[in-house]
Structure 1
Amino acid sequence: MIDFKNSEYVKLKETDPSVVMKDIAPLLIDGEQVIGVYKGIRDYCLFTDKRVISVNVQGMTGKKKDFTSMPYSKISVFSVETAGVLDMDSELEMYFSGLGKVKFEFTGRSNIVEIGRIIGHYAL
């Protein structure tokens, strides 16, 4: 599992879902739809209509991957922080029962408000 408390994350930016579908498709349940994919240098996270999946690509070749599945139903609190004038990144924090805080940082161009709306729709 990804150590969300001690990890430094590269800023994530929106990516075409087809880039990661080969790795993700086997994990999706029947009828689960991918809403958005956000990728850093190697690691990425995706939002479906059921959960957030965080993928930590490991090793020199990148063949080893850690998939962490976090269902919206386990979110107790979430927070979005939009980009500012001098602070050009935006942030998403989610608190999951049994896991604690998960934080993702996005480029300022990411539509963090829309991400928050999607999480709210499925978590509330």
Structure 2
Amino acid sequence: MGFFSATDVSVESVMAVFNTIRETVFLTNLRFVKVDVQGRTRKRVDIISMPWKPVNRFSAEAACSFDLNADLKVWVSSGPTPYEIKISQKSGAAAIQRIFAQQILAPKG
């Protein structure tokens, strides 16, 4: 992408990458990165890089088993409102939730 490379930090490894309608989300062992491409020309890019340490909870919601998308909400200690991420069915919502649980419940160093 040019904005982010897991090789920039030698100890960082990418665990999952998934796309939504206009976002790309990277989950690494050190942080999660949300890249939001905005505007009709898709030239405006908003990048949020959040280390796992301030992430204190998450929730996933799907209307029913036939729902194609799940809504993932991620709360961090510094903000009152969660980050919201849409996860498509083909992105593997269960695997993404497992990564979030492992990273949030891991001992914070």
Scaled by the length of structure 1, the TM-score of the pair is: 0.68
**Does structure 1 residue 123 correspond to structure 2 residue 104?**
yes
Match of 1:47 in 2: 27
Partner of 2:33, secondary structure, is strand
- Give, as a single letter, the amino acid of the residue that structure 1 aligns with 2:67: D
Q: Within 1, Cα distance between the matches of 2:92 and 2:62?
A: 8
Q: Within 2, Cα distance between the matches of 1:61 and 1:27?
A: 29
1:106 to 68, 73, 87: 87
| Structure 1, unpaired ranges of 5+ | 1-19
1:74 to 54, 70, 76: 54
> Stretches of 4+ moved more than 3 A in 1?
58-64
Match of 2:13 in 1: 33
Scaled by the length of structure 2, the TM-score of the pair is: 0.75
Match of 1:97 in 2: 77
Number of equivalenced pairs? 104
Identical columns (%)? 28
